[in-house]
A and B are shown apart, each in its own frame.
Chain A
Amino acid sequence: MEPKIVSLKDVTFSYKGSKRQALRGVSLDVKEGECVAILGPTGAGKSTLACVINGTVPRFIEGKLTGDVVVDGQIPNNVGTAQMASRVGLVFGDPDTQLFGMTVEEDVAFGPANLGFDYETIMERITRAIEDMRLQGLEQRAPHRLSGGQKQATAIAGVYAMLPKIMVLDEPTSMLDPEGKARVFSIIRDLNKSFGMTIILIEQEVDDILELADRVFVMKSGEFVLGGTPEEVFAAVDELKEVGIRVPSIVEFGNLIGADKTPFSVEEAVSTVKSGAWNKAIVGDAPIEDRAAPGLSVGSESTQDTAPILEAVDLEFRYPLGVKALDGASLEVYPGEFVAIVGQNGAGKTTLTRHFNGLLRPSAGDIRLFGKSVLNEPTASLCATVGYVFQNPDEQLFCDTVEDELRFGPMNIGMDKDRMEESVRDILLDIGLDKYRQVWPRYLTKGERQRLALASVVAMEPEILIVDEPTTGLDWLESLQILDYLERLRKEKGKTILIITHDMNIVSLYAKRVVVMANGRVVGEGTPREVFSQPKLMELAYLRRPQIADLSDTLWGEVLLTPHEAADRLKRSSSTNREVAGK
């Protein structure tokens, strides 16, 4: 049996000045060479746990720690963080805050140089880390000029160069596009499977950890509520949903059809269906309803017979001395639509949408609102019709209280006071922040701040709402809360919604139309089904369709969007086969 490399016994921790326990009696044993995934909603204590393992809690981040923590034979609290750094590497979600060098090479050298190794050893480690993390050719590049995936790979290389036995990765893909995510997961796989490193991976991306993790633990309110092999944990669908974890669509499909063995990949699910290793008893039941998909575009909900509310006509835009960000981008948006704009980082999504409220002005082309050119309209007046919500809530909250934040926009556009107060009252109730009306927005959780940022724009009552990556850094439940709110605004108040997103699960569930961008142009559009049915288009935009779409395409040659749809399809095809056999 492999020796334990991490051993936590009944660990509790409270941050200095806080009565709440961030960790409550956590016990965890990790074997050498194991890959352990930790899931949980925001605020569950996952990051605190990571900091306990590398000793930054409580030596750097103060608080009261009790229980036993032994990592690679050392008690981190006694040894010190810097000394633990050569045993435990910690990688964070935001690569920008963990890159210190002016070049990739310098950044990778930072850790070994701090450890005082001689020049030759440092150069050896740099060469190895750069090679193993597939960063060859980028050695002299400035880290801030790299793509998100390359930046995170550099951050991992910097930790890897210190040759720790354990690597703790705290949501390393939370800020990356699909291509960046794929790169980072592939590196983590190499670290564990090829280089034998022990991995503790904190993640929200459940699909990717299925094949990677040996064991999975689920945290909620500072304690483990589920733990075991991926098969054991993901079989507990109801418990996972209660905690707010998205169940991988393939697993959910397996559970819905009563598969003999829970599938963890598309191949396994295909083989389960083809071999008939599932519960035929579902045949004959009522159609399987999908309660998790409020905006599911089952049929077409076309509004395109009306005049477009917003048009971009052959837009061109170049940042000062930069690349051409838009190269003839054209788009029509119709009233009451829910449009998702997708594409890899740098495709021009944000640049395009920032033209709609005048934040950017094109070098060529036209922007039309209700059929009228608005190229010369100032943002201050356009924002009353086109609301824009930025990606990071902390870059758009300016006031001392939640209530004032909601008044900020309406006051600037000169909204009638009574109407504004009524609107603020309604919105506070609508987004569930009524009890925090006098609280400084910074004291709210990330999910609450994101909802407030969105609501502060909604308060101006714009016809069109543009939301840039509304789910970045949020857990699944928080993401659904934001998207449900947008969908309610669309259905109940007739708003037109445009979101920019990398999350194809969100696209499947909410978007009525998907606009695909690449190289500064709109390269394709259609319903989620239509877009997911075009592999070349997906490839061009570096997109990865949901696993359930892969599965249904393989099995029946048609793209389905949710596990429920796929289970229903299986049921239908099964009863048809039975009828045919009966005749």
Chain B
Amino acid sequence: MIVEYESKQTPIHRLDPRAKFMWVVATIIISIIWTDPVYLFGLGVFTVIIGFMGDFPWPKMKGTFMFLLIVTAIITLIQGATYLPKVVWLANPERVAFYLIPRWIPVIGPAWPLRIGGLIYGICMALKVFVVLIAISVFGYVTSPSEVVQIIVRLPFVSYKSGFVVSAASKFVPVIQMQLATLRDAERSKGVDFDSGSFTEKVKKTTSMLVPLFANALSMADTMALAMESRAFGYSKNFTLIRPYQMQASDWLMVVFSVGGLVASIVCLAVFKLGAL
């Protein structure tokens, strides 16, 4: 997860993990099947509202959003220049919005026209990426990995141990990130300049950190395994799941809203073409 889980008492944090899971799955499916940017924008706004209700730390996503914005802008431009979809509600999708090489450049201009239909399709793709990313990030922020484990182990044929592996692995990610940052600082303190040199040299500088990184991770995993063993991990097949979840009215509301929204959007798309370009 890009943003780590935080234990808080917001209405979204308090929801049953199954209700939150239903919401994120429904949001992802709807964002995939819808192709109309107006509808996708609406879905995005709703996802952001859920994020605000869960006190999501938006500034932490700044870097990721900036990166995505650049990537999706490029995708939008490429789509605009190369693809012309059939747009139900647009009278003239092949109309040129502007040229990548403008008219005023002599000899070669105008060239590479960007058409309205293609641009709209590109924006639609970008919105899909943003909605999915925000939904998953908000879900990760409001749902603890152990709640994810609770969801997984309640599935048929899944053992508690497998669920715990998911949880332990997710805990390892920030630890490894911190280790990597320290190793990088230690290399910098010994004169390594990560900003200079050719691509091969930069790769070489980075790979020198991998041996201590893996060695430390293995050593830490070893100690963790010993500590788990010392706390009776695997003693009984009847591991007790604490927090025996009981769906409350708010949880059911979220489930009905998510499932209902998903079914409604599929029906409306199939019958009335609502949500389609």
Contacts and interface: CB of A to CB of B under 8 A. Distances in A.
Contacts of A321: 57, 59-60
A185 to B, nearest CB: 21
Interface string A145-172: 0000000000000110010000000000
Interface stretch (B92-100, B117-125, B177-185): B177-185
A153 to B, nearest CB: 16
Interface stretch (A32-40, A284-292, A393-401): A393-401
Interface string A383-421: 110011010101111100000000011011100000000
Nearest to A89: B230
B164 to A, nearest CB: 8
B248 interface: no
Contact of B229 (A60, A142, A357): A60
Interface in A334-375: 354, 357, 359
A112 B174 CA distance: 27
Interface stretch (A92-100, A323-331, A501-509): A92-100
Contacts of B244: 119
Given A119-B242, A384-B191, A114 B146 contact: no
A194 B242 CA distance: 29
A353 to B, nearest CB: 11
Interface stretch (A78-86, A273-281, A479-487, A552-560): A78-86
Interface stretch (A63-71, A103-111, A307-315, A513-521): A103-111
B235 A457 contact: no
A162 B216 contact: no
B229 A103 contact: no
B240 interface: yes
Chain A interface size, as a band, is 35 or more
Interface in B1-45: 5-7, 9
B161 to A, nearest CB: 11
Interface string B193-222: 101100000000000110110011001100
B236 A408 contact: no
B192 A100 contact: no
Nearest to A398: B208
Contacts of B234: 82, 114
Contacts of A158: 231
A390 B145 contact: no
Contact of A81 (B146, B188, B230): B230
Given A89-B230, A119-B240, A395 B5 contact: no
A247 B87 CA distance: 84
A507 to B, nearest CB: 24
B147 to A, nearest CB: 8
B271 interface: no
Contacts of B229: 56, 60, 81-82, 85
Contact of A412 (B192, B216, B236): B192
B186 A390 contact: yes
A183 B10 CA distance: 32
Contact of B231 (A110, A123, A380, A409): A110
B82 interface: no
B146 A106 contact: yes
A236 interface: no
Contacts of A242: none
Given A98-B224, A116-B240, A456 B235 contact: no
Contact of A111 (B219, B224, B232): B232
B191 A409 contact: yes
B228 interface: yes
B53 interface: no
Nearest to A82: B235
A359 B235 CA distance: 46
A383 B190 contact: yes
Contacts of B224: 97-98, 100
B242 to A, nearest CB: 5
A464 B145 CA distance: 45
B145 A60 contact: no
Contact of B190 (A89, A106, A412): A412
B250 interface: no
A56 B235 contact: no
B8 to A, nearest CB: 9
A359 B188 contact: yes
Contacts of B223: 92, 94, 97-98
B7 A102 contact: yes
A85 B191 contact: no
A54 interface: yes
A72 to B, nearest CB: 15
Contacts of B74: none
Contact of A140 (B7, B168, B238): B7
Nearest to B13: A140
Nearest to A360: B185
A254 B5 CA distance: 54
A102 B144 contact: yes
A103 B235 contact: no
B233 interface: yes
A70 to B, nearest CB: 19
A460 B183 contact: no
Interface string B145-189: 111000000000000000000011001001100010011011111
Identify which of B167, B187, B188, B224 gathers the most chain A CB atoms within 10 Å of its CB. B188
A398 B7 contact: no
A409 B190 contact: yes
Contacts of A118: 240
Contacts of B211: 398
Nearest to A101: B146
A54 B208 CA distance: 38
Contacts of B147: 102
B173 to A, nearest CB: 12
Contact of B189 (A82, A105, A383): A383
Contacts of B209: 398
A101 B168 CA distance: 9
A61 interface: yes
A85 B230 CA distance: 6
Contact of B191 (A116, A394, A413): A413
Contacts of B9: 140
A92 B7 CA distance: 26
A115 interface: yes
A380 B196 CA distance: 10
A85 B226 CA distance: 12
10 contacts: A85-B232, A85-B235, A111-B232, A141-B7, A159-B230, A162-B232, A384-B191, A395-B186, A398-B211, A460-B190
Which 5 A-B residue pairs are closest in the complex by CB-CB distance?
A: A412-B191, A116-B236, A82-B235, A98-B227, A396-B186
Given A85-B232, A159-B230, A357-B189, 20 more contacts: A85-B230, A96-B175, A98-B227, A102-B5, A102-B167, A106-B146, A114-B231, A116-B237, A142-B6, A142-B7, A158-B231, A359-B185, A378-B193, A384-B191, A388-B189, A396-B189, A398-B208, A398-B212, A412-B190, A412-B192
